[in-house]
């Protein structure tokens, strides 16, 4: 039996706790050991959650430990996951048993998917990608590593997101469009043209934030 540690005990971490319990393998292949967070009182007002065991920096990995990174900010997610990777830690993906995933879709390690998301056929999802509730990913889409897809976003068929992209709630990526590495798409934006690297866009049609 593997012992799962959730990195981050704030709001996202509390949500992930509930998602984990709906996943394949819960209590048969892995159980929840607790949280890693440097804010030791983060759960003081939230009863019913597993304990905060240690900080990411100080935690010593034990046999059978596995990890998932429940941080919504791409930069922080990458920073703290990398600390565990450098210590030799193993990340697993959280995939609810009831999620709708199409044929031939490939999902990397360390991903967090919600049961209310819809992922079509022949999609490629990289490592450490989070897909939040009611998001839709169309056929043949390509999602790079470390991406954050927030609730109610739509990624059209054959669209491509490079690494470290953030898609905020309600945003739409038109089919066949590309979003460059490190870019941010604002809430409710409609992306009709390709977006370069490290660019923030808002609006309908989406335009670069000045």
199 and 124 in a common domain: yes
**How much is the pLDDT for 80?**
97
pLDDT of 129 > 90? The answer is: yes
Q: Is residue 166 assigned to a domain?
A: yes
Q: Are 176 and 159 in contact (CB under 8 A)?
A: yes
Domain boundary, last residue among 28, 60, 86: 86
Mean pLDDT across the stretch 125-152? 97
180 and 137 in a common domain: yes
In the chain, the number of structural domains is 2
Domain boundary, last residue among 86, 115, 132: 86
Q: Which residues pair with 26 in a beta bridge?
A: 30
Dihedral over Cα of 130, 77, 150, 180: its sign: negative
Q: Is residue 6 assigned to a domain?
A: yes
Beta strands in 134-193 (DSSP E): 136-137, 142-143, 148-149, 154-155, 160-161, 166-167, 172-173, 178-179, 184-185, 190-191
Q: Is residue 195 assigned to a domain?
A: yes
DSSP state for residue 49 in the 8-state scheme: S
What's the first-to-final CA gap in the chain, in angstroms?
A: 51
Q: Is residue 93 assigned to a domain?
A: no
Mean pLDDT across the stretch 51-77? 96
For 159, the domain range is 98-203
């Amino acid at each position: 039996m593997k012992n799962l540690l959730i990195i981050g005990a704030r709001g996202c971490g509390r949500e992930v706790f509930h998602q984990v319990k709906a996943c394949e393998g819960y209590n048969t292949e892995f159980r929840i050991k607790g949280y890693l967070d440097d804010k030791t009182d983060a759960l003081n007002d939230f009863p019913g959650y597993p304990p905060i065991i240690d900080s990411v920096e100080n935690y010593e990995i034990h046999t059978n430990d596995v990890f998932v990174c429940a941080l919504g900010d791409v930069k922080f997610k990458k920073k703290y996951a990398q600390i565990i990777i450098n210590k030799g830690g193993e990340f697993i993906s959280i995939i609810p048993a009831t999620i709708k995933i199409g044929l031939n879709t490939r999902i990397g390690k360390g991903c967090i998917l919600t049961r209310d998301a819809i992922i079509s056929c022949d999609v490629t999802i990289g490592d450490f990608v989070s897909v939040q509730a009611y998001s839709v990913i169309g056929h043949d889409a390509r999602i790079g590593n470390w991406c954050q897809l927030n609730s109610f976003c739509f990624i059209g068929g054959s669209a491509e997101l490079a690494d470290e992209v953030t898609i905020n709630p309600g945003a739409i990526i038109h089919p066949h469009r590309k979003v460059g590495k490190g870019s941010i798409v604002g809430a409710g934006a409609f992306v009709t043209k390709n977006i370069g690297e490290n660019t923030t866009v808002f609006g309908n049609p989406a335009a670069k934030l000045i």
